[in-house]
Amino acid sequence: MSAVIPRMSINPYGQKPNRQESSKSVFKENNLHSHLINAVDVNQLTNIFNDDSILNGLELGTTYLSNSSRTLNFTLTSGRIIQDRSIIEILEDVHLSIDIFSEYIIQEANITDNYFKVSGDQTDNFPSGNTFGIFNSEISGNNHVYWSVDRTEYDGSLYTKIYVHQTISSDNSSGVIVNNNFPGETGQVLLMSNYKFYETLDENPIEFIPLYKTPGNIIYPTLDSNLYRILYSVYNIQKNDTTYVINSFDSIDEYTSVVLGNTNYIIRNINYTHTTFFDGGIMN
């Protein structure tokens, strides 16, 4: 799950409020544009940093497991960012989560054509060769049994058929499918923000999103280093591929270098009061 936050303090080159030219105050009204500042000083400040990024706040808060230890949850505190000559103010804490394993109620177990039916378009979540387990079955012997995906079909409206290599019986009609969303028993979760500058006031959001990195350096979803510019934290996770749970997670130390998509990122302690580089530094 990602969090899309509207840009509250907007590019100072954008639309100007109806005010005296000598004024440096923000809008008086309590609306989306209340934090828009048009002043020579702000223009100079954002020009100094140009395409670099400066942070204030956005500290990592509580991290915990939920959904029977299958989902990892995070909180980033409110704060400000200067990025691409824009001032962005985040007024509330940002809550994020990533499902390492996801659950789907079995709608049908078709023994003639050998498929399970689940709600929604899940074709991307069950690629050919992917494995999943069945949990909470009325027949305990069916729990935690590996199933291998042959192919999937979405009916275009309500359901996805998951065809499997094993033989489905009538005993498989109860319980939930628990899907292993990412390969391997280990991996990393990355907390990043996705921002693209637009020459408008209204359609210019910043998106905070967790990503998953496999030991083979494959990142889900695909990372574009031109958009994912700031790395807030990285967690190593250990999974149990038998019981389909997250066994443990731990954060990587600040100032550790991480290569993502051929781009070098630094995990930064944004409370630190001195830095020799701008990206991820402090804004007072």
pLDDT tens figures, 125-179 = 899 988 899 998 888 887 778 899 999 999 988 999 999 999 998 888 888 999 9
Q: Are 60 and 96 in contact, with CB atoms under 8 Å apart? A: no
Among 180, 212, 245, give the residue marking a domain's end.
180
| Residue 192 sits in the same domain as residue 95 | yes
User: What angle is formed at CA 246 by the lines to CA 102 and CA 164, rounded to 5 degrees?
Assistant: 40
Q: What is the CA radius of gyration of the chain?
A: 23
Identify the CA nearest to 131 among candidates 244, 44, 256.
244
| Residue 39 sits in the same domain as residue 95 | yes
| Residue 95 sits in the same domain as residue 113 | no
Q: Are 8 and 91 in contact, with CB atoms under 8 Å apart? A: yes
Number of independent structural domains in the chain: 2
Q: In what order do the strands lie in the sheet with 53-57?
A: 86-90, 79-83, 53-57, 281-282
Q: Is the pLDDT of residue 95 over 60?
A: yes
Q: What pLDDT sits at residue 28? A: 42
Can you give the CATH number for the domain in which 141 is found? Answer: 2.40.10
Answer whether 0.85 is exceeded by the pTM.
no
Q: Chain-centre distance of CA 82, in angstroms?
A: 21
| Residue 238 sits in the same domain as residue 174 | no
| Residue 195 sits in the same domain as residue 269 | yes
Higher model confidence: residue 36 or residue 132? Answer: 132
Identify the CA nearest to 101 among candidates 250, 260, 247, 252.
247
Among 180, 213, 234, give the residue marking a domain's end.
180
Q: Percentage of residues in the chain with pLDDT exceeding 70?
A: 70
Q: Write out the residue range of the structural domain in which residue 165 sits.
A: 101-180
| Residue 41 sits in the same domain as residue 108 | no
Among 151, 180, 209, give the residue marking a domain's end.
180
| Residue 86 sits in the same domain as residue 193 | yes
| Residue 191 sits in the same domain as residue 79 | yes
Q: How far is CA 108 from CA 61, 114, 139, 154, 155, in A?
A: 41, 10, 16, 14, 14
Q: Chain-centre distance of CA 1, in angstroms?
A: 6
- Give the chain's largest Cα–Cα span: 78
Structure tokens at 91: 């007024």
- pLDDT single digits (tens) 203-238: 567 889 999 999 888 898 888 888 888 888 899 999
- pLDDT single digits (tens) 106-118: 999 999 999 999 9
Q: Phi/psi zone of residue 181: left (φ > 0), alpha (ψ -120 to 50 degrees), beta? A: alpha
| Residue 95 sits in the same domain as residue 191 | yes
Q: What pLDDT sits at residue 156? A: 86
| Residue 14 sits in the same domain as residue 83 | yes
Identify the CA nearest to 145 among candidates 246, 70, 238, 244.
244
| Residue 11 sits in the same domain as residue 37 | yes
| Residue 275 sits in the same domain as residue 188 | yes
